[in-house]
Structure 1
Amino acid sequence: MSPASPTLSVLDLVPVRSDQATGDALAASLSLARAADELGYRRYWLAEHHNMPAVAATNPPVLVGLVASATSRILVGSGGVMLPNHAPLVVAEQFALLEAAFPGRIDLGIGRAPGSDPVTSYALRHGAGGVSDEIVSRFPEYVDNVLAMMEPAGVGLSVQGRTYPLRATPQARSVPTIWLLGSSDYSARLAAEKGMPYVFAHHFSGSGTAEALALYREHFRPSPELAEPRTFLTVNAVVAGTEDEAARLALPQLLAMLALRTGQELTPQRLVEEAEKVELSAPHLELVQAMAERWVIGDPARARARIEELAASYGVDEVMVHPVAGAWTGTEPGASPAREETLRLLAA
């Protein structure tokens, strides 16, 4: 890429195809992470989603540990941990241990969304010890708790007139970089208020990105950890040798997003040949085409130019690529060659 090109990173939801078991999907993601590490990508983030047939990224700290162990250089983090699903102390303990094991390589991205359907969300948040709406309303407090407990000095917890020291881990020497993630003005304002780095979910939302980033930059208050706004862009990407091949490889994920947005039954990700047999109504075809226009889909030259255009448009020097290329019938179940090829072609 040209000298003005943005730094590239990777977002992974650990997709599960119709020809894969969960173990196959994990093996494919670990291979993808090793490829990103070798190709010089800056960071590799793993999402949190629950009870979805096509997504195996249910537990970011476990995945972060697996990926960090399988790589040597790349920053590894959560994109993100959905904090209302968990006790703040548990999150702080998990990522303090990861930082201790891989010092200087861990990012903790925190989000507020459920990451699942209402029933699964209830099961998660009831186990976290509270009513869902109450937990969400206390999100800013929970963020403060995580920030404080991860500091090496910890915090003092007052109980019955006595102060008890509370630390995420004993003898910490460093703290992960903690990011606030979101897809609304709320998260942008909160990140600005707390002086935290912030990422808007452009790959999922596709709209409102410019407004959220402008709000974040305008209202940013410097903090001891961050002197000025820090952000990057996330995009869905499929890159192949030709435009036609890239469009075909993008279809399985486009159909998965169509199902999610229109309330259809969710299934494991189709293989390309399976996806091409699906007949779409005119309104659904229009929605798929509109989504595709917001993604980066094409040959290497066109894809790199599009990423540079997006980075310039949103004023960022880093773009996190979510490689969503599908697979052909007969692909090795424990591999995702088209996803790896997307990373290779973009990094060339």
Structure 2
Amino acid sequence: MSTSPALSVLDLVPVRTSQTSAQAVAASLALAARADALGFRRYWFAEHHNMPAVASTTPPVLSAAAAARTSRIRIGSGGVMLPNHSPLVVAEQFAALEALAPGRIDLGIGRAPGSDPVITQLLRMSGTTSDVERFPEHVRDITRLVGAEGATVQFTSGGTYDVHATPAATGAPEVWLLGSSDYSAQLAASLGLPYVFANHFSGEGLQRALELYRSQYQPSPQHPEPRTFLTANAIAAPTAAEAEERALPQLRSMARLRTNKPMQPLETVEQAQAERLDGMAQTIVDGMRAKWFVGTGDEVATALRAFAQRWGVDEVMISPIAGSYEGEPMDAAPGRVQTLELLAAALGRD
């Protein structure tokens, strides 16, 4: 039996200096097609808003485009930030995706805003659907709405009303709960849903979240056993030196975010190398780098294999965050493609 975990991809659709949104999306769709050809298990798009370096604002739209360009890999969201949207709209979007690519759609759901407070307020101008305290109720609504049986609305005055996300469903997207806190782990356990810990954010709290999820899990008809995998930031290159260079743009972008500096498109490698960081930013970069998987294909594969074994998961979803050099094409992401190819080759040798 292979000792390597299955690999999946989390994509934020990064945008670099002088790159248009159209070019960034084209690069990500090409990456999705390559992941499909390489045998990756799933490909998820994140939801973030009003960020110059991130174009993944609408996971359902990007998922539809990726589904049309792939044939085997599972496609979905990592995740839809549910308080930003009506549960019925989310259910309808992913029921439509399931009809488009039957048996290949994942609906990952989270409760974080995915942006700053101003944008969050604009996104959540939809009344009670934006009530974060009702998040568990809305997750339950979606799981019912996307199924063939649909959901039933009970009126306070008496009577019921049947609601279906799509009129004649023959299948349903698989619902996953995402998070980086005890809350999300416990909610997923109580609902009997698969759970993903967002380890690529910071990695803090991983052990406790997994312990809570596994120990408190309540079996459901669809998922009699707890099911989980982890995310990780990863860059693989032919040499360790190149991998470290390609890590610089994303590391510096995260340092800007965490020191409250104005956000901007991702730098090229050359731009990132040209400017020294101040002490606080460098400390942040060093702390993040220690938790990332960066190196040659064999080095990163070995580290991912050990990571999966340590936490008892059979799948790792990598966020391939390799930056670009100035001469590389705008509508492609050679460093990210290279990461997937090298890891698929290294882990496939088991």
- Tell me which interval the TM-score lies in, with the shorter structure as reference length: over 0.9
SS in 1 for 2:290: helix
User: Do residues 202 (structure 1) and 202 (structure 2) align?
Assistant: no
CA contact (8 A) 2:256 2:281 kept: no
Shift of 1:240: 0.4
Cross-structure match for 2:38 = 39
Shift of 1:131: 8.5
Cross-structure match for 1:69 = 68
User: Do residues 154 (structure 1) and 150 (structure 2) align?
Assistant: yes
**In the alignment, residue 154 of structure 1 is paired with which amino acid?**
G
**TM-score normalised to structure 1 length:** 0.97
Shift of 1:289: 1.2
**In the alignment, residue 21 of structure 2 is paired with which amino acid?**
T
- For 1:49-128, list aligned pairs within 5 A: 49-126=48-125, 128=126
Alignment RMSD, CA only? 1.1
- For 1:153-172, list aligned pairs within 5 A: 153-159=149-155, 160-172=157-169
Note the alpha carbon deviations across 1:2-51, whole angstroms, 9 max, x for none: 92000000000000111210000000001100110010000000000000
SS in 2 for 1:44: strand
**TM-score normalised to structure 2 length:** 0.96
Note the alpha carbon deviations across 1:101-156, whole angstroms, 9 max, x for none: 11100000000000000000000001x22485xx1111001101111111211122
Give unmatched runs, 5+ long, in structure 2: 346-350
Shift of 1:278: 2.0
SS in 1 for 2:200: helix
Count matched residues: 344
Tell me the distance in 1 between the aligned counterparts of 2:253 and 2:17. Answer: 12
SS in 2 for 1:294: coil
From 224, 232, 240, give the equivalent of 1:235.
232
Tell me the distance in 2 between the aligned counterparts of 1:249 and 1:176. Answer: 35
**In the alignment, residue 177 of structure 2 is paired with which amino acid?**
L
Shift of 1:225: 1.1
User: Do residues 211 (structure 1) and 216 (structure 2) align?
Assistant: no
Give unmatched runs, 5+ long, in structure 1: none
Sequence identity percentage: 55
**In the alignment, residue 136 of structure 2 is paired with which amino acid?**
P
CA contact (8 A) 2:145 2:151 kept: yes
User: Do residues 263 (structure 1) and 265 (structure 2) align?
Assistant: no
Shift of 1:209: 1.0
From 165, 178, 202, give the equivalent of 1:181.
178
Tell me the distance in 2 between the aligned counterparts of 1:277 and 1:206. Answer: 29
Shift of 1:55: 0.4
Tell me the distance in 1 between the aligned counterparts of 2:308 and 2:108. Answer: 21
SS in 1 for 2:234: strand
Shift of 1:312: 1.0
SS in 2 for 1:95: helix
Cross-structure match for 1:137 = 133
Shift of 1:86: 0.2
